[in-house]
Each structure stands twice: as structure tokens, then as C-alpha cells.
Amino acid sequence: MSSSPFQALVFDLGGVVVAHDNAVLFTRLASRCRPDWRPEDVAALFRQSRWGTGTPIRLFHAQLAETAGYDASWDVFIEDWSCHLDVDASMLAVLQRLAGRNRVMIFSNTNQEHWDFVRKASGGVLADFEPYLSHEIGYEKPSLRSFQVVAEKAGIDPGSCIFFDDLPANVEGARQAGFQAEVFLGEGWLLALLAGRGVALG
């Protein structure tokens, strides 16, 4: 691995490496609930809890069944639960190139079931990029503590690293924790920015 201007390149998953559309998710879940339950009702129920910090998703499945009449088994629920996720093969290849000559990390707000799905969809490749996952560390972006925990666990100096996320609030959270950080604007933009910063692209 050659010398890099950054100690680590840190990437969000959703909206960067994994395409996702929550409207698709909530519409799918609502389709198996009572007729009076709309996608926005399912979304509101979901947002009542912090599922990204380790609360078991099985509890949401149980809530949907009890409150909304969701009528599918756990195995079918898991299919519904991940129906809105799609690994971006081109961005995955970019991270693989970068990892050949840089330390590449992932920091994502997620849950075990979504992580299992995207890891499998990537052929296991995502697990090679030193993942730091909110449901495992117990904190979610954009909290200051979440970025501090990642830095502590990874043994990195935030100021010597750069973080990319599609959400401005998460980028601001990273900056508050001392990271260099940018709002992700697409693959071409990313490659141009890294090249301009002297990052070896592999």
C-alpha cells in the first residue's frame, strides 16, 4: 500500500455505495398490513424507535403484526425489509480500487439484517472495508459520540481522515468530531476530488 495523504477514507453506505428508496420499503410493508394502513403510517411506526443502535428488528416485525396486521412470516418480512436496497457495482469497484493503496473504512447507520443483505449482495466484498456499523457500536450518525467511537475503535486521527456521506447533517457531525468531510455528489465527482487531493486510485 503506497503512501496516502489520508490516514483513512471513510464512506457511508446508503446513498453512496448502496442505493436505497425508503418509499419502496414502506409501500411493500404496508401492502401486507390492514387496508387502513398506508405507507406513511408504517413509516411513522418505524420512526418511533431507534432501530440503528441495536434494537432487534424482530421487535419491529412484531409491532407491525400486532399494530398494523402485517400478515407475513419473519422470513418474508426479511425479504420485504431489504427490498429497497441495491449495491452500486460501480461504486463497489471504486472502493476496491482505493483499498489497494489506501485504508478504506465504512461507517453506516444500519441494522444487522440490512448489513447481512448488502454484504451478501456484494459477494462479501463490503466486509473487507473495515465496517463500523451503528447497530454494533451503539451510536448513530450524526451524533458527535458516534464519530468519536469510530475514531477510537479504528485508532485513527480524525483530522487526518476524510469522510463521505450523502446527508449534509452527517457530514457536519463528522466535521464537529474533527474529520475532514464532504457531501457525496457522485462517483465522477468523488474520483476527481480524490485525484485532486493526491489520493492513489489504484
Summarised one tens digit per residue, pLDDT across range 139-157 is 999 999 999 999 999 999 9
Domain count, the chain: 2
Domain range enclosing 28: 22-81
- Please state, for a pLDDT cut of 70, what percent of the chain lies above it: 99
Same domain, 14 and 36: no
Query: Residue 1 above 60 pLDDT?
Result: no
CATH of the domain at 181: 3.40.50.1000
Task: Give the pLDDT confidence score for residue 202 in this predicted structure.
Answer: 80
Paired strand residues for 164: 11, 182
Kindly state whether residue 201 falls inside one of the protein's structural domains.
no
Count the alpha carbons within 13 Å of 142 in the hemisphere toward its beta carbon: 17
Kindly state whether residue 2 falls inside one of the protein's structural domains.
no
Paired strand residues for 202: none
As a whole number of angstroms, the distance between CA 194 and CA 190 comes to: 6
Same domain, 102 and 160: yes
Kindly state whether residue 61 falls inside one of the protein's structural domains.
yes
As a whole number of angstroms, the distance between CA 57 and CA 70 comes to: 14
Task: Give the pLDDT confidence score for residue 147 in this predicted structure.
Answer: 98
Same domain, 101 and 77: no
Cα–Cα distances in Å, from 40 out to 57, 104, 113, 185, 189?
Answer: 19, 36, 22, 28, 34
Kindly state whether residue 136 falls inside one of the protein's structural domains.
yes
Domain boundary, last residue among 32, 63, 81: 81
Same domain, 128 and 191: yes
Q: Are the beta carbons of 4 and 102 closer than 8 angstroms?
A: yes
Kindly state whether residue 172 falls inside one of the protein's structural domains.
yes
**Tens digit of pLDDT for each residue in 80-124?**
999 999 999 999 999 999 999 999 999 999 999 999 999 999 999
Kindly state whether residue 1 falls inside one of the protein's structural domains.
no
Domain boundary, last residue among 81, 113, 132: 81
Same domain, 102 and 191: yes
Average pLDDT over the chain, rounded to whole?
Answer: 97
Q: Are the beta carbons of 190 and 164 closer than 8 angstroms?
A: yes
Same domain, 15 and 106: yes
Kindly state whether residue 73 falls inside one of the protein's structural domains.
yes
Query: Residue 17 above 70 pLDDT?
Result: yes
Task: Give the pLDDT confidence score for residue 4 in this predicted structure.
Answer: 86
Whether this model's pTM surpasses 0.75: yes
Same domain, 147 and 167: yes
Same domain, 44 and 91: no
Contacts (Cβ under 8 Å, ≥6 apart) of 60:
45, 46, 49, 51
Q: What is the DSSP letter of 67?
A: I
12 CB-contact burial (10 Å; exposed 0-12 / middle 13-18 / buried 19+):
buried
